[in-house]
Each structure stands twice: as structure tokens, then as C-alpha cells.
């Protein structure tokens, strides 16, 4: 064996871990036959990167969009918030029942009926009737004597006045003629004429006397003139 043949044999000697039968046969493309390593799969970010143009500005925009998409997908996958339960407005209300034999006690409010004449808009007669009339002939005469001067008369007229109204009413506040319905100390006919002096004409002798003195002055000029008329015809 020549020196070149020995070198060729030595070059083709089996290396550690290889078969002594020689190097592994190659396929038509020149690569060795046997198992191939699986190509790694690219993620969404990598696929977008490969699909976009390679200009620097466009790559940056693609990376930003891909990052937002990935973050959104991750958030959607992790979120597990239960949806709020909506209570229907038309839900049937719970019926409230009571025992038929239960004793029900309600608070009672005391009430008082008001007569129609005492309600708002009542007449002056109703207002004055709420106060009890005072029949005091002496007090009435004393008041009449104190009022003579205001009508321009002296005390000499008092005797005629006492005689006149003693015949007419006895100086009683509630005196009333059963036939003519003349009322009060001065026997006003009708009684409502005295309302021009005061609404309490049915109960207040002062109101009646003030009205009576005014009537005498206007009609007869003085109490003695009215008394003379009464003596002549029986009324004034």
C-alpha cells in the first residue's frame, strides 16, 4: 500500500460515535438523511413583524399595535368579573297579610261639630250671641247719664230718658216686644238697625244706649221731646 492510499484510508476512518460503515448517505439536495428538528412557531408579535414593511417607522408602529393587541388579549383572558344581576322591575311584590282575628286599634281624634251660623261668613247676630247678654238696669242708666253731654244735653234730660226707656224695656238689654219684635233698651225696630253702632247690639247695653240716644236726637231733638211723644201716642 502506498503512502497516498494510507492517507485516504485514515481520512475516511470512523470518528468516535459514527458508524464504521462510513459517513451517512446524503439526499439529492446534499444534506444528510435522518430526523429534522421542528421549525419553532412564531407568535402573533413575530408574525406581524414579518408581515410589515421593513422601514424603521412602520416597524415601530407595527410593534406598538401588536403590543396593544397582545395586552388586550391577555386582559380578556384573565378577566373573570361576574356580570351584575339585574332585578326586574316587574318582579312580583311579596304579599303582606294579616291575621283576620287580629285586633286593630286606631287612634281616635276628638271632633266637635260647629253650627252653621258660627262658621266663616256668619252674620253679626251669631257673633254677638256667643257673649252672654248683661241685664243691669242701674249700670245701663249710669252709662246713659255719662253720655248726655256728648249729644249736647244737660242732666235735666235724664229724668225724661229714664221714664221713656222704663216704659219701653225696663232698661233690660234682652227686652223684646213679642208682637213687633222691637229689641233692646231703646226698642229698635227692627233690631238690626243697631248694628250700625256695633256688632254686639244684642248683648251690649252700651251699644244699644249709644244708638238710642242718636235716634232720639235725630228724630225728637232730646229725651224729653221723645218722652212727650210717647205720652201722647204710646210710642216714640
Within a domain: residue 140?
Answer: yes
Check if the beta carbon of residue 210 is closer than 8 Å to that of residue 197. yes
pLDDT, position 215: 98
pTM: 0.47
Q: Are 211 and 202 in contact (CB under 8 A)?
A: no
Q: Is 187 exposed, middle or buried (0-12, 13-18, 19+ CB in 10 A)?
A: buried
Cα separations (Å) of 150 from 146, 213, 216, 226?
8, 10, 13, 18
* Residue 5 Cα distances to 9, 12, 14, 55, 203, angstroms: 6, 11, 16, 58, 167
The C-alpha cell at 10 is 485514515
pLDDT at 189: 96
Please write the tens of the pLDDT for every residue from 71-98. 555 555 454 555 555 545 554 455 555 5
The pLDDT, as a whole number, for residue 131 is 75
Domain count, the chain: 1
pLDDT value at position 69? 62
DSSP symbol at 33: P
Separation CA 175–CA 181 (nearest Å): 9
The pLDDT assigned to 119 comes to 43
Q: Average pLDDT of each block of 10 consecutive residues along the chain (236 residues)? A: 53 48 48 54 64 58 59 52 52 53 52 45 46 92 98 98 98 96 97 97 98 98 98 95
Which ranges of the chain does DSSP label H, i.e. alpha helix?
3-11, 44-51, 56-78, 124-129, 137-147, 157-168, 205-219, 223-233
Q: Is there a domain that residue 147 lies in?
A: yes
Residue 7 domain-assigned? no
Residue 133 lies in a domain: yes
Cα radius of gyration rounded to whole Å, the chain: 66
121, part of any domain: no
Q: Is residue 45 part of a domain?
A: no
Domain that holds residue 141: 126-233
Q: How confident is the model at residue 45, as a pLDDT?
A: 60
Residue 77 within any structural domain of the chain? no
- pLDDT tens figures, 154-195: 999 999 999 999 999 999 999 999 999 999 999 999 999 999
Q: Is residue 44 one of the residues assigned to a domain? A: no
Amino acid at each position: 500500500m502506498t503512502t497516498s492510499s494510507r492517507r485516504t484510508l485514515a481520512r475516511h476512518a470512523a470518528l468516535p460515535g459514527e458508524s464504521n460503515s462510513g459517513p451517512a448517505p446524503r439526499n439529492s439536495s446534499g444534506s444528510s438523511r435522518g430526523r429534522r428538528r421542528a421549525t419553532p412557531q412564531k407568535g402573533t408579535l413575530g408574525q406581524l413583524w414579518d408581515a410589515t414593511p421593513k422601514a424603521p417607522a412602520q416597524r415601530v408602529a407595527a410593534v406598538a399595535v401588536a403590543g396593544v393587541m397582545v395586552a388586550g388579549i391577555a386582559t380578556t383572558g384573565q378577566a373573570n368579573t361576574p356580570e351584575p344581576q339585574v332585578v326586574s322591575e316587574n318582579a312580583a311584590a311579596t304579599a303582606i297579610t294579616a291575621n283576620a282575628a287580629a285586633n286593630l286599634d286606631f287612634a281616635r281624634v276628638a271632633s266637635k261639630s260647629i253650627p252653621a251660623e258660627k262658621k266663616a261668613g256668619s252674620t253679626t247676630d251669631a257673633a254677638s250671641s256667643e257673649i252672654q247678654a248683661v241685664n243691669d238696669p242701674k249700670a245701663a242708666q249710669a252709662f246713659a247719664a255719662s253720655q248726655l253731654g256728648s249729644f249736647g244735653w244737660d242732666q235735666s234730660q235724664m229724668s225724661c230718658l229714664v221714664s221713656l226707656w222704663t216704659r219701653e224695656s225696663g232698661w233690660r238689654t234682652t227686652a223684646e216686644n213679642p208682637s213687633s219684635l222691637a229689641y233692646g233698651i231703646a226698642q229698635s225696630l227692627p233690631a238690626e238697625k243697631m248694628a250700625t253702632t256695633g256688632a254686639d247690639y244684642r248683648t251690649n247695653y252700651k251699644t244699644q244706649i249709644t244708638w238710642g240716644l242718636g235716634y232720639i236726637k235725630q228724630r225728637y231733638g232730646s229725651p224729653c221731646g221723645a218722652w212727650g211723644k210717647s205720652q201722647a201716642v204710646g210710642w216714640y
